Structure 1
């Protein structure tokens, strides 16, 4: 059985720690120190990366120096020993993995989908957040919309492991984008209580995101109306609605 735990890093990052027996892997280790502390003397078996931003890769060199472990991720990242691209499949931790290219936040961004005995697990870096999505630093709205559409097509019970604790801020925006959505109001109340207890709001699920994430709800009449109030045309495409939402969120 694979266990998955968050390792907090920096102000709001999560490095995800996956363990099966004496196998230990981490996803997006921006900082080596909390990883080494979490390992508590165990050997790191390997590293998985979603994209090149330093808060996701900054700890790689130190961890490789200490553990001489493989690094799986986009081939554009220095230090990657096992380059991954869209459609790749591999086996780790007695689970089957697939790679989905999700350009938008960065052009090299990938998502990693783990099919394990207890279900499907998505490690999506900074592409899909709980009730939100990443900023467009390199890609286009069309690319990011397509990337999110691909992730949204995963089974609804897929667990979603984002790389940042942005949930409450994202839900505040979601409520503005779709004020009549009772699922958003309920989630905001629940996740506020979770954070008040200093617990992570993650993982989410694809089903929860489909119900409460405005960036996955560009067909909602209320979301479309709010987007129109912020500059979208009345007959805007889903990509145009997405672009308007993303621009609005950037200054929200």
Structure 2
């Protein structure tokens, strides 16, 4: 028959051995009264009340630590699951953006090539083809054209230098300057670039009926663009904001452009 195993613990606080001469174990035994030592059969342990209280406290801490570990494990699993879901969503978004970006670049590259041919070879484009192309391209898109030219440059395609030259003529700013500054320009300035390119290239703006409006729009857009090129960012924002001298001009430019579309 195997004897039952008990845990034994005695905990006692009191004044220490005098002058350090008393042997610690003997001192400890002398400070424990026999009636203090008890047996807890259900818990299978032997000791005094202070010792039992200490064991109970340690057990409580152990249980709390175990619960904390379980919670952290579940929380970690939940976060890993959430992270995996987010990674999947990000990958899908990147794929969608990539497809959208490629489509946009392809569209704008077609516009770049048409612009190059029109500017250099003096070819008479078929009216319907020009109208369809213009409707698809939605006119000027300085950000889209920058991306398309950068893509052509990365792929070492031909005609990049001509695309950049045409870009400068169309938008009124050198390509390298635009590639650097466009991401920093306020949306109203980007709008001015796009409208300027639109009235210069779209078939709808070629006739005599819109000549006066076209001239007015070009002048306003050019003024806004010139201001953007030589004005510090904070001052430019102030000029385009409420009470700024460029805000009314922007509104007038957009109004004139919208009236003819």
- Give the TM interval when normalised to the shorter protein: under 0.3
With the length of structure 2 as denominator, give the TM-score of the two structures: 0.26
Q: TM-score, normalized by length of structure 1?
A: 0.27
**Going by fraction, where is helix more abundant, 1 or 2?**
2
Larger radius of gyration: 2
